[in-house]
């Protein structure tokens, strides 16, 4: 049986000490309590700070647990932060693709649109920010569902929106496995007739999928003559997702 991971044990010990010290502790205090060198402790608390579990006081001399650590059961990324990091990249994707672009995240089993870029033409369009989409019937949802390790976000009932909507649980599992294998999700008249879509997961700190970005449009624009999702659009969407994720990871 494999042994424990020492770095994780030490990080857990630091968190326990900070949980018992409402006024915070310094690096020297933590080092003395754990019998570790200051440099080692500093590396641990710096990492915990980067992932949002630990905060420093105004002087920078003491560390304490962050509010985020107490909300581990919740989605850790503020939707406003996701939107702010996605705006420029999503706008660029809409401009280059000529299609509607949305950024979404899973909330209580639904995809909530946190950012929406209109198709860059003069057609009448409605703003979708704040609206919800069924995750099993859209590319945005499948791109996130595929990486839901606990399975808690998967919809209990797979409602049909068109004749192409996936409503069999086993078929959805196969579809999500395919998404994980190729790194992006597609939809083809599964939510709305005559529309297709492409989406890719956005990975935040530690590789955790925190949302997805995708585009939708008429089938003849999103798919090729053989009704396959266009590879150039897939490449654009995946690059956009990676760029947003990189900004999120670098900021934290």
pLDDT tens track for 72-99: 655 556 778 899 999 999 999 999 999 9
CATH superfamily name and code, 79-251: GAF domain (3.30.450.40)
Which residues make up the CATH 3.30.450.40 domain(s) of the chain?
79-251
What pLDDT score does 101 carry?
A: 97
Other C-beta atoms lying within 10 Å of the C-beta of residue 37: 11
Question: Cβ contacts of residue 27 below 8 Å, gap of 6+?
Answer: 38, 41, 42, 45, 63
Q: Which fold has domain 6-71?
A: Arc Repressor Mutant, subunit A (1.10.10)
Question: Cβ contacts of residue 136 below 8 Å, gap of 6+?
Answer: 142, 145, 154, 155, 158, 165, 166, 172
- pLDDT over 60 (residue 205): yes
What pLDDT score does 7 carry?
A: 87
pTM score, whole prediction: 0.78
Q: Which of 7-21, 51-65, 84-98, 195-209 has the highest mean pLDDT?
A: 84-98
Which residues make up the CATH 1.10.10.10 domain(s) of the chain?
6-71
Q: Which of 64-78, 142-156, 234-248 has the highest mean pLDDT?
A: 234-248
- pLDDT over 90 (residue 234): yes
Q: Name residue, tokens 């599992």.
A: 173
């Amino acid at each position: 049986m494999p042994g424990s991971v020492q770095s994780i044990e030490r990080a857990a010990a630091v968190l326990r000490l900070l949980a018992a010290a409402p006024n915070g502790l310094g690096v020297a205090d933590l080092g003395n309590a754990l019998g570790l060198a200051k440099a080692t402790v500093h590396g641990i608390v710096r990492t915990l700070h980067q992932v949002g579990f630990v905060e420093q006081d105004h002087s920078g001399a003491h560390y304490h647990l962050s509010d985020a650590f107490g909300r581990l059961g919740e989605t850790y990324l503020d939707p406003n932060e996701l939107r702010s990091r996605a705006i420029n990249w999503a706008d660029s994707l809409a401009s280059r693709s000529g299609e509607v672009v949305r950024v979404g995240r899973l909330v209580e089993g639904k995809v909530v649109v946190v950012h929406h870029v209109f198709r860059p033409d003069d057609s009448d369009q409605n703003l979708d920010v704040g609206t919800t989409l069924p995750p099993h019937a859209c590319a945005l949802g499948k791109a996130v569902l595929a990486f839901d390790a606990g399975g808690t976000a998967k919809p209990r009932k797979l409602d049909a929106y068109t004749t192409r909507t996936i409503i069999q649980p086993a078929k959805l599992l196969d579809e999500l496995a395919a998404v994980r294998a190729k790194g992006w999700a597609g939809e083809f008249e599964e939510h709305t007739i005559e529309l297709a879509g492409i989406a890719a997961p956005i990975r935040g700190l530690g590789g955790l999928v925190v949302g997805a970005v995708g585009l939708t449009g008429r089938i003849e624009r999103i798919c090729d003559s053989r009704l396959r999702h266009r590879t150039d659009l897939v490449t654009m969407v995946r690059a956009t997702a990676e760029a947003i994720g990189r900004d999120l990871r670098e900021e934290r």
